[in-house]
Amino acid sequence: MIEDLRWLGIHWSEGPDCGGEYGPYAQSERRAHYLEAWRRLRDEGFIYPCTCSRRDLAQAASAPNDLDDEPIYPGSCRGRKDGPSFAEPAGVNWRFRVSDGEQIGFTDLNLGEKNYVAGRDFGDFLVWRRDDVPSYQLAVVVDDAAMQITEVVRGADLLKSTARQLLLMHALGPETRIPSYYHCELLRDASGTRLAKRHDALGIRHLRENGMTPESVLALAFRPATSARLQ
Ligand SMILES: [Zn+2]
């Protein structure tokens, strides 16, 4: 990805390949930061250990909500109070206990006012996985705060995750700086299906190997947004 982005003409002054003031930038080297956040959430009772198996969760799942998203957790373990007895997160899943019915709103810099309801739009989400890896939600919140990120730009498939991350940021304390968010509409193919890894033929690497120039790739990617804005 780094190689393809450079080829496309995008440059950056901080990152895993060039270092910077807020390194290390590889998540695999930032475990101490994530563990510190885990301890804090554990001590303050925001998270609980969950021993539900994948099968338990599949059986309990009601109507599938969003295909991209984790299913709403049925809550079987949410009453557990033994979190503080764990010295390490490994061995069980850890979930954030969301405040059911709480409305979480934010102003997206691209898409405007967004509102989600905890417990309805998403349930108790994973913070640390049984195989001893922090979840995406926890890792990005911890990294954004530690790296003093002011603006997050990413795909609209993560809008709901922003609501989860806001809950995490509040739980981690008032000194956690909250960035602004800009969610981009997703790129879609001619039939309206969003581009994903299975559209290998439209990956930058593939286009590049087939002789396209960076300029023609950028023109292709930005055409729909540009015409929409001109209308
Ligand atoms: Zn459980």
Reported as a single tens digit per residue, the pLDDT across 96-122 is 999 999 999 999 999 999 999 999 999
Across the range 2-16, mean pLDDT stands at 93
User: 76 alpha carbon to ligand 1 midpoint, in Å?
Assistant: 5
Counting Cα atoms < 13 Å in the Cβ hemisphere of 31 gives: 7
User: 46 alpha carbon to ligand 1 midpoint, in Å?
Assistant: 15
pLDDT at 229: 42
Asked whether 79 and 52 are in contact (CB, 8 A), the reply is: no
User: 34 alpha carbon to ligand 1 midpoint, in Å?
Assistant: 22
User: 37 alpha carbon to ligand 1 midpoint, in Å?
Assistant: 21
Across the range 62-74, mean pLDDT stands at 69
Residue 146 has pLDDT above 60, yes or no: yes
Across the range 205-228, mean pLDDT stands at 78
Q: What one-character DSSP code corresponds to residue 65?
A: -
- Tell me, rounded to whole angstroms, the distance of Cα 120 from its chain centroid: 19
Instruction: Give per-residue pLDDT as tens, 18-47.
Output: 999 999 999 999 999 999 999 999 999 999
149 contacts: CB under 8 Å, gap ≥ 6: 143, 179
* Mean pLDDT (the chain, rounded): 89
User: 68 alpha carbon to ligand 1 midpoint, in Å?
Assistant: 21
Concatenated DSSP letters for 178-222? PPEEEEEPPPB-TTSPBP-TT-GGGSHHHHHHTT--HHHHHHHHH
- What's this model's pTM, rounded to 2 decimal places? 0.88
User: 72 alpha carbon to ligand 1 midpoint, in Å?
Assistant: 12
Q: How far apart are CA 38 and CA 42, in angstroms?
A: 6
Instruction: Give per-residue pLDDT as tens, 170-204.
Output: 999 988 889 999 999 888 877 888 877 777 777 88
Q: How far apart are CA 48 and CA 119, in angstroms?
A: 16
Q: What one-character DSSP code corresponds to residue 127?
A: E
User: 227 alpha carbon to ligand 1 midpoint, in Å?
Assistant: 47
Instruction: Please report where in the chains the tokens 């496309």 appear, as a residue.
Output: 8
Q: How far apart are CA 140 and CA 129, in angstroms?
A: 15
Q: How far apart are CA 153 and CA 108, in angstroms?
A: 10
Q: How far apart are CA 125 and CA 200, in angstroms?
A: 30
User: 129 alpha carbon to ligand 1 midpoint, in Å?
Assistant: 12
- What percent of the chain clears pLDDT 90, i.e. is strictly above it? 72
User: 57 alpha carbon to ligand 1 midpoint, in Å?
Assistant: 8
